[in-house]
Structure 1
C-alpha cells in the first residue's frame, strides 16, 4: 500500500459525534466524514472511531488525512456549502427546524436536522423577517448548509434567490403555486399565503 493507516486510540472503538473537534487543519487534512470549519477539523457524522492516513510518498502536502470511519449508513452527508432539500418540521419566532432529505441531489440514509435562523432567511430587510410568513410545517425547502451549528443541527440559509420554499400545501390542503418572491397561491381556493419562495428554474 502506498499509504499507511494508523488507528486513533490504538484501534479501540470510540464514539465520534458530529461537530467533534478532530485536530488542527495546519497538520491534518479532512477525509471521509470530516470537514474543515475555519482552522480546526470536525466530524461530520456519528461514527465509531477516527483514523489517520499518512500522506502518500513524494506528496508535497505532508499533512495526514483524518477520517471518521465505522459509519454504518453510507448515504449522503451534509457539508458546509452543500445544497440540501429539507422538510420543515417546526416554525418558531426566531428559527425553523427541518429534516434534511437530500444533499446535492443525493438521498440521505439517516436523520440530519437543519435549523434556519431568522437572519438566514433572506439577504435583505432581515429585521423585517417573520418566520411564520416565511415557512410552515410540511414545506419543502432548498437551502445552503452554512455550518454545523452544534451536535444536534446544521445551520441552513435560504438567503439567495434560488433558495427557499420549492413545494408547499395550503391551509386548505391544496398545492401552493408561486406568484412572487413572498407569496404563493392555493390552486383550490385562490387564497394567498406568505412564504420565502425559491426562484423557479
Structure 2
C-alpha cells in the first residue's frame, strides 16, 4: 500500500480493516476522502481490526494534488447564493473510478475551497441563470478551474456539456439520476428536480 493517498483511492477492504478519519466506504471497500499520509492504527482489542485513516495536514499537500487553471475538479456544494455558490474541492483531475466512489461519500474534510459565479454556470443566457435552480447544498459538481482567485478560493466554471451536477440527492434525501441536461429524478419517488446536469462520462 502506498504511504500517501489521493481522494478516491482504494485503501483496503472492510474484511481486513476498519474505516477511520478521512475515509469513506463504498460497498465493502474503504476509499480515501482527502489527500494525505495513510495511517494504520493497531486493533483496539484482540478481536478487532486495524483502522485505516488519512492524516489531514497542510504539510501533507502534494504539488500533484494542487488545482491549476484548466484542472477538472469534483466539488461539494456548501452554500448557494443568488450570485454564486461556495464549495469544497474533493478531487483534482479525477478518474472515472474516483467519480464513482463519491456516490457514497459523506466526509466533508477537504483542502481547497472554490467559488462558482453565476456568469460561469453556462455559456448561454447567463442573465437567466437562477443559482438555486441549478445547484443545491450537498450536490457533487464536476467543474473546471478558470482562475486561481484569491488566497482563499479558486474560481471554477460549469460552462460546457461535460460540467455540472454529477451526484445529487433529492429534497426527500434519496439518490437521483439525470433525465436531461437540466433535470434529475428521485429514484424512489420519481419526482423531478432542476439541476445544471453534467453529460454522463
Give the TM interval when normalised to the shorter protein: 0.5 to 0.7
User: 1:110–1:87: structure 2 CA closer, same or farther, 3 Å change rule?
Assistant: closer
| Residue aligning to 2:138 | 138
State whether structure 2 residue 92 is matched by structure 1 residue 95: no
Displacement of 1:73 after TM fit?
Answer: 2.1
Displacement of 1:80 after TM fit?
Answer: 0.4
Alpha carbons 1:120, 1:159 under 8 Å: kept:
yes
Q: Distance in 2 between matches of 1:104 and 1:88?
A: 18
Displacement of 1:72 after TM fit?
Answer: 3.9
Q: Distance in 2 between matches of 1:101 and 1:187?
A: 25
Q: Distance in 1 between matches of 2:173 and 2:69?
A: 34
- Higher Cα Rg, which structure: 1
Q: Distance in 2 between matches of 1:98 and 1:198?
A: 17
After superposition, the C-alpha distances for 1:21-65 in whole angstroms (9 at most, x for unaligned) are xxxxxxxxxxxxxxxxxxxxxxxxxxxxxxxxxxxxxxxxxxxxx
Alpha carbons 1:85, 1:140 under 8 Å: kept:
yes
| Paired residues for 1:101-180 under 5 Å | 101-105=90-94, 111-180=111-180
User: 1:125–1:188: structure 2 CA closer, same or farther, 3 Å change rule?
Assistant: same
Number of aligned positions between the proteins: 131
| Paired residues for 1:28-39 under 5 Å | none
| Paired residues for 1:81-92 under 5 Å | 81-92=70-81
Displacement of 1:110 after TM fit?
Answer: 5.4
Alpha carbons 1:174, 1:187 under 8 Å: kept:
yes
| Residue aligning to 2:3 | none
| Residue aligning to 1:198 | 198
In structure 2, the gaps of 5 or more residues are 1-57, 99-108
Alpha carbons 2:88, 2:110 under 8 Å: kept:
no
SS of residue in 2 equivalent to 1:179? strand
User: 1:133–1:200: structure 2 CA closer, same or farther, 3 Å change rule?
Assistant: same
Displacement of 1:188 after TM fit?
Answer: 1.2
Q: TM-score, normalised by structure 1?
A: 0.62
Displacement of 1:71 after TM fit?
Answer: 4.9
Let me know the Cα RMSD of the aligned residues.
Answer: 1.8
SS of residue in 2 equivalent to 1:142? strand
After superposition, the C-alpha distances for 1:70-123 in whole angstroms (9 at most, x for unaligned) are 95422600000000011011100110111001101278x951001000000011
In structure 1, the gaps of 5 or more residues are 1-69
State whether structure 2 residue 54 is matched by structure 1 residue 73: no
| Residue aligning to 2:47 | none
